[in-house]
Copies of this chain bind each other. A is one copy, B any other.
Amino acid sequence: MSKYLSQTRANLTPYVPGEQPVDIERYIKLNTNESPFRLSKAALAYAFASLRPLQLYPDPEYGELRRAFAESIGVSADEVMAVNGSDEALYLAFSAFCDEKTPAVFADITYGFYPVFADMCRIPYETIPLTDDLQINPEDYLDAKGTIFIANPNAPTGVLLGVSDIERIIESNPENVVVIDEAYIDFGGETVVPLIRKYDNLLVTRTFSKSRSLAGARLGFAIGCTELIADLNTLRNSINPYNVNNATVAYGLGSLADDDAFRDNCTAIEETRAFTVDGLKTLGFEMPDSYANFVFARTPKMAGGELYHALKERGILVRHFDNERICDYNRISIGTPEQMQTLLDTLKELLG
């Protein structure tokens, strides 16, 4: 830290992303919930044909991309905003809808970036414990005292909250924005996007990093009523109006143009997840039902951190969190059937 860093920033503890090895051939990488599938050839061809010249700035309205995405989820273009990964949408939401008097409210076990965003925005936050079996209890979020952030399915647990439960939360919080982070919604969950027409306090975030094979392109969206989206645009245009680059716009359009490939990939992940869960249970693992492209599993036979290291030594990267409540667990992304079979074989060997 330099002597010039503002005292207001001195206590920041940045988010620590999962390991991203440069030497990607070295590991079976099941630690950051990426897709094992490449963008389809049809999607890439469409992207190539859509690329705005790189020497020109993007259209800061991102009109074509917003229209294509909005159509794919059944809303209109002025109800969506494109962002440089959904982290950017979340940061803007913390910046716009929280302040010293309006804290953020989220689960104790959820996406680890939420408290970091709150600290970065210098706003207080309140955490609500998950139940003992790692569920969100909707009752705990009724009549909340601030802006609510819920990852659904939740990370790193994979647990899904039903639409009716979320609607109760939204309905009971007319003075608070409720942000539903649907990064993992495409793997079997039901979206709350249609509710944006009914509730002006609902904001949904989406990412192309998981189900749409574009973690490296950095593309996400915020979805809400036009007023909430206009607020977020005010902040976006006060930080970085050209937040999404031309190549990413093209890849996004490409992915949206080949929705069949996207849906096939999601189905394949769900099938591989079912097969992985069966294998893990046979080996004695316990885990909550996952609706995401990962499972969150523990075994009485080995501590979570130890298992993480043992797998890494054998060339398999999973994610372990240094948090007392969940240190028994590892979060394992769903890769290809072959990768998951290797994982199961390795676990069998390790755990005897």
Contacts and interface: CB of A to CB of B under 8 A. Distances in A.
A23 to B, nearest CB: 10
Contact of A97 (B5, B97, B209): B5
A214 B54 contact: yes
A261 B193 CA distance: 48
Interface string A199-241: 0110000000100011111100000010110110111111111
A231 B1 contact: yes
A20 B59 contact: yes
B22 A39 contact: no
Nearest to A84: B84
Contact of A217 (B9, B17, B54, B233): B54
Contacts of A225: 2
A99 B10 CA distance: 12
Nearest to A39: B54
Contacts of A217: 54, 245-247
Contact of A64 (B7, B17, B22, B227): B22
A330 interface: no
A55 B84 contact: no
A251 interface: yes
B14 A29 contact: no
Contacts of A239: 87-88, 91, 117, 120
Contact of A60 (B6, B8, B20): B20
A8 B122 CA distance: 12
Contact of A7 (B17, B56, B99, B246): B99
Contact of A234 (B12, B64, B117, B233): B12
A321 interface: no
Instruction: Name, among A29, A216, A233, A247, the residue most crowded by chain B CB atoms within 10 Å (CB to CB).
Output: A216
Contacts of A7: 99
Interface stretch (A30-38, A74-82, A131-139, A151-159): A30-38
A237 B5 contact: no
Contacts of A88: 239-240
Contact of A57 (B1, B32, B54, B59): B32
Given A217-B246, A238-B14, A5 B63 contact: no
Instruction: Name, among A9, A177, A251, the residue most crowded by chain B CB atoms within 10 Å (CB to CB).
Output: A9
23 contacts: A1-B234, A4-B97, A4-B228, A5-B231, A6-B95, A6-B99, A6-B102, A7-B99, A8-B99, A9-B96, A12-B235, A17-B57, A17-B60, A22-B64, A29-B56, A34-B55, A39-B55, A55-B213, A58-B216, A84-B240, A87-B242, A216-B247, A218-B242
Given A34-B57, A37-B55, A247-B247, 17 more contacts: A4-B201, A4-B228, A5-B234, A32-B57, A35-B55, A39-B54, A39-B55, A55-B214, A56-B215, A57-B209, A84-B240, A87-B240, A91-B239, A116-B238, A117-B238, A216-B245, A217-B246
By Cβ-Cβ distance, the 4 closest A-B pairs, closest first, are A14-B237, A216-B246, A2-B227, A247-B247
